[in-house]
């Protein structure tokens, strides 16, 4: 089942990991969200900027 999120939506997410590019990694249900300027262990508000088939991109606000 695909999570129902939209571009521009603001979510509160917990960053559980960080990728080699410095982006934080979080999950919304089963969808992975890559978050610019977020660090592992943070809980932050994230604005969704793009949605792909298997992941989404967001910015910390």
Enter the pTM of the model: 0.90
In angstroms, rounded to a whole number, what is the distance separating the alpha carbons of residues 42 and 8?
21
Task: State the DSSP H helix or E strand holding residue 49, giving kind and residue range, or none if neither.
Answer: strand 43-51
Take residue 7 and report the two structure tokens written for it: 């571009």
Given this model, what pLDDT does residue 2 score?
58
Could you tell me the end-to-end alpha-carbon distance of the chain, in angstroms, rounded to an integer? Answer: 28
Given this model, what pLDDT does residue 44 score?
96
Given this model, what pLDDT does residue 4 score?
83
Below-70 pLDDT ranges, the chain: 1-3
Given this model, what pLDDT does residue 3 score?
62
Domain 10-60 has CATH 2.40.50.140: yes
């Amino acid at each position: 089942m695909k999570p129902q999120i939209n571009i521009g939506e603001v979510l509160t997410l917990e960053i559980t990991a960080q990728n080699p590019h410095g982006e934080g990694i979080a999950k919304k249900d089963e969808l992975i969200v890559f978050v610019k300027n977020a660090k592992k262990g943070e809980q932050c508000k994230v604005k969704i900027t793009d949605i792909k088939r298997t992941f989404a991109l967001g910015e910390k606000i």
